[in-house]
Structure 1
Amino acid sequence: MARRTKQAALETRAQIIDAAEICFFRKGVSQTSLAEIAKTAGVTRGAIYWHFENKGEVLDALLLRAKTPVQHLEEASRSSDEPDPLGRLHALLAEIFRQVECDPSARRINEIIFHKCEYTDQMCDLREHMRLLRLQSLQKLESTLCNAISRGQLPEQLDVPMAARCLHAYVIGTLDTWLLRPEDFSLAERADRLAQGAIDIMRHSPALLLPQPD
């Protein structure tokens, strides 16, 4: 009985996350209420509050689920046991680009992140929450770059914080531009080239090296 109850709770949680994805995509995060998510999910508001304290937690769960298919690549790129962290980073970036075009759910979630998160005065907590998520992403990228440096795959003089921010901006800019004009080119077809372009910038840009003392 306990196992069945736990399974039912997991299924309800998944229903809520599915409904949130639909509601956020249709109306935007700030214009969607927990009551609307509950109605779309076919559950009570009490069921939502059993699993999530607020809308930010629902959004968190949605983003976490979107990351699950590539999480192993992200973790491998930062692992001290990984012999090819830069290769894992390349695979991670290429898979992200492919998924956004080929996986309808991944595409909706990225549309939500880039175009449906409205940072109004009433949603200041959400803005701070997204700032924290961006900071965490940067810290993970820095860890990956440091790992690649230790393996001799990137220059020892690489300005890691600056390089991580450039890489982050490259990915965000590529996704945002494509989502606004997907008819311009196939993101999936160019996924490997785009990923390699990001790696080449990290490897070869003199502007990303720390200044040497005179």
Structure 2
Amino acid sequence: MARKTKEDALETRSQLLDAAEKVFFEKGFGQTSLVDIAEAAALTRGAIYWHFKNKADLFEAMADRIRLPLESLVEACAEPQEADPLGKLREFWIQTLREITRNPRKRRVLTILFFKCELNSEARQLEIRRQAGHLQYVQHIEQCLQNAVNKNQLPASLHIHQAAIANHALISGLISNWLFLPASFELSSYAETMIDNYIFMLKHSPHLQTEATQATEDVYR
């Protein structure tokens, strides 16, 4: 019986997350109430509070469901024993972009995150989480790029931090622009070219080398 109860609880939680995804997508975070979500799930507010502390907690759980299994690739490429960290990074970036075009849930949740998550006082917890996620992503990419430098796949003089920031701008920019206007370009077919252009820049752009960066900073001091 206990097993059945646990299964029921997991089913109810999933039902609430499905409903939250639908309502947040339609109304945005700020305009959505827990009553809206409970009604969409055909459940009570009590069921929500059994599983989640508040609306922000429910939102975070919804967003957690789209974490890509591919993220294990970016973790693996930071390991010292990884023989091809740059190749793993390339695969991660390309598949991340293509997965968004194939997976409706990821598209909906990312649309909510980019365009329907108003940063008001109620969303402060979400803002903090997004800031932490931004920093964590950049740090992971820095570790992977450094590993690629150590394996002689990238120049030893590469400005690691600037390269990681440029990558975040590229990936988030491609995703947000495509979600905003999917008809403007084919994200899935452009993914490989965009990523290969970025990697070419890492290998050959003089402006991403530490010496060149320092010289540029000196000019503007």
Per the normalisation by structure 2, the TM-score is 0.87
Write out aligned runs for 1:151-170 (5 A): 151-170=151-170
User: Does 2:204 align with 1:204?
Assistant: yes
Taking a change above 3 Å as real, the CA distance of residues 78 and 103 of structure 1, as seen in their structure-2 partners, is: same
Q: Partners of 2:45 and 2:81 in 1: how far apart?
A: 45
C-alpha deviation, 1:80, in angstroms: 2.8
Report the identity percentage: 40
Q: Partners of 2:155 and 2:195 in 1: how far apart?
A: 18
Q: Partners of 2:23 and 2:80 in 1: how far apart?
A: 40
Counterpart residue number, 1:99? 99
Unaligned 5+ residue runs, structure 2? 216-221
Counterpart residue number, 2:188? 188
Counterpart residue number, 1:179? 179
Counterpart residue number, 1:78? 78
Q: Partners of 2:143 and 2:42 in 1: how far apart?
A: 42
CA RMSD of aligned residues (A): 2.1
Taking a change above 3 Å as real, the CA distance of residues 153 and 112 of structure 1, as seen in their structure-2 partners, is: same
User: Does 2:130 align with 1:130?
Assistant: yes
Taking a change above 3 Å as real, the CA distance of residues 11 and 150 of structure 1, as seen in their structure-2 partners, is: farther
Could you tell me whether the CA contact under 8 Å between 1:119 and 1:127 is conserved in 2? Answer: yes
Please tell me the residue identity of whatever aligns with 2:180.
L
Per the normalisation by structure 1, the TM-score is 0.89
CA shift digits 1:85-110 (9 cap, x unpaired):
21111111111211222211111112
Q: For this pair of structures, how many residues does the alignment match?
A: 214
Please tell me the residue identity of whatever aligns with 2:10.
L
Runs of 4+ in 1 over 4 A off after TM superposition: none
Counterpart residue number, 1:49? 49
Q: Partners of 1:80 and 1:43 in 2: how far apart?
A: 49
Q: Partners of 1:74 and 1:81 in 2: how far apart?
A: 14
C-alpha deviation, 1:18, in angstroms: 1.4
Task: Point out the structure with max Rg over C-alpha.
Answer: 2
Could you tell me whether the CA contact under 8 Å between 2:68 and 2:96 is conserved in 1? Answer: no
Taking a change above 3 Å as real, the CA distance of residues 56 and 82 of structure 1, as seen in their structure-2 partners, is: farther
C-alpha deviation, 1:200, in angstroms: 2.1
Could you tell me whether the CA contact under 8 Å between 1:74 and 1:88 is conserved in 2? Answer: yes
Counterpart residue number, 2:219? none
